[in-house]
Amino acid sequence: MGFSEAEVIAELARIFSREDSRVVVGIGDDAAVVTSSVHETVITTDMAVEDVHFKREWSKAHEIGAKITAANLADIYAMGAIPRHLVAAVSLTGNESINWIRELAQGMKAEADKCDVSIIGGDIVRGPVVTISMTAFGEVVSPILRSGAQVGDGIYLSALPGFSAAGFYLLSNEIKISALVNASLAEKALAQFRSPDVDYQAGRALSRAHSLCDVSDGLVTQGNQIAHASGVRLEMDARLISELQGFQGLMNLAEEVGAHVWDWIACGGEDHVFLATGADLPGVKIGAVVEGLDCEILGLAQTPKGFTHFL
C-alpha cells in the first residue's frame, strides 16, 4: 500500500465535499455535526462484505459503492422519510490502489447526489477482506410502518422486481451473455445486480401508504413481514404481476438460460422496488389485503425458491 490513512481520508473528504447548509462540521473532526430538525429522525444501517455480498471480479468499485448507498437510501424512503445524511465505514486489505478506493467513494457520492444527501463522515480500518458499513439518517413527520396494512387495502408495486436476481443467476452460472438471444435484457439484469437503479421518486410518491417497504429481501419475504406485522394476509395475483412492464422480457431470458422467472420475481432480492398497501396509490395494483396471516402469490404452478443474501 503506497499511501497513508491520512492521504485516503483527505481524498475522501475532497470527493464527499459539497455545499450543504444542514452540515455544521463534516469530515475531518472526531465527529460530524448537523443541524437538528423538528421532525422525527429515521436511522438505518447496511453492511456489505466481500465474497458474501459482492465480488470484485463481478463488480467495479464504483458499482459497489453505489449499491450499498442505494440500499440505505431505499430503506429511508421505505419508512416514508426523506434521507439527509450518510456515514460510511470501510475496512481495506491494504492491497487496493488509491484509484480503486477513489472509485468506491465516487460511486457512493454519485448515488447520494441523486437524493441530495451528504456523506459526512465514517471510518477506515484494515481487515482481511473489504467490508463496507453505511448508516443513513432521514427525517419524517410520521413514519410508515410494516404494521400499518389494513384489511381492504390494495397491494401496490412501484415496478417489477427480479432483474437483480437474474443478474446474480447469470454471473453465478457463468453464462456467456454475448451468446444469448436476449443479450440486451441480460445486460440490464447484470447492471441491476451490480448497481440497482432505484426509483427514489416512486418511494416519495407513496407517502399516503398504510404500510410500506422495499423488496430488498424478496417480494414474498417482505410481503410476509408486512402480513405478520399487521396481522393480515396479503394476496397477490400472478396475472396482475405478469402485466407489469418488463415481465415478458424477463420471462424470455429465464426460459433461455434454464431458470424459473417466478424464482427471480417472487424471491429474488436487491432490486429495491417499493411494496405498499393502501388505497389509490401510485404504481401498479397487484392484489389485496384480506383476513389471515401470511402472503401468497395466487395463480402460480409451483412454489418459488427463496432468496439469500449469501453468495
pLDDT digits (tens, 9 = 90+) for 29-74: 656 677 777 688 889 999 999 999 999 999 999 999 999 999 999 9
pTM of the full structure: 0.89
- 77, three cell numbers: 424512503
C-alpha span between 228 and 119 (Å, rounded) = 35
pLDDT over 50 at 311, yes or no: no
- Which SS3 state, helix, strand or coil, does residue 211 take? strand
86, 69 contact by CB (below 8 A): yes
pLDDT for residue 32:
61
pLDDT over 50 at 310, yes or no: no
pLDDT for residue 26:
67
Report the interhelical angle of 247-257 vs 163-172 (nearest 10°).
20
C-alpha span between 56 and 50 (Å, rounded) = 8
195, 61 contact by CB (below 8 A): no
Please, which pLDDT band fits residue 96 given cuts at 50, 70 and 90?
A: very high
pLDDT for residue 14:
79
- Nearest Cα residue to 136 out of 157, 155, 154, 111: 111
Residues of the chain with CATH 3.90.650.10: 146-298
Taken in order 192, 170, 129, 100, is the CA torsion positive or negative? negative
Average pLDDT of 222-238? 97
pLDDT digits (tens, 9 = 90+) for 149-200: 999 999 999 999 999 999 999 999 999 999 999 999 999 999 999 999 999 9
Total number of residues shown for the chain? 311
Higher-confidence residue of 81 and 305: namely: 81
Superfamily of domain 146-298 in the CATH hierarchy: PurM-like C-terminal domain (3.90.650.10)
pLDDT for residue 8:
72
- For every residue of 115-174, DSSP letters joined together read TT-EEEEEEEEE-SS-EEEEEEEEEESS---GGG--TT-EEEESS---HHHHHHHHHHTT
Residues of the chain with CATH 3.30.1330.10: 5-140
162, 61 contact by CB (below 8 A): no
pLDDT for residue 36:
74
CATH number for region 5-140: 3.30.1330.10
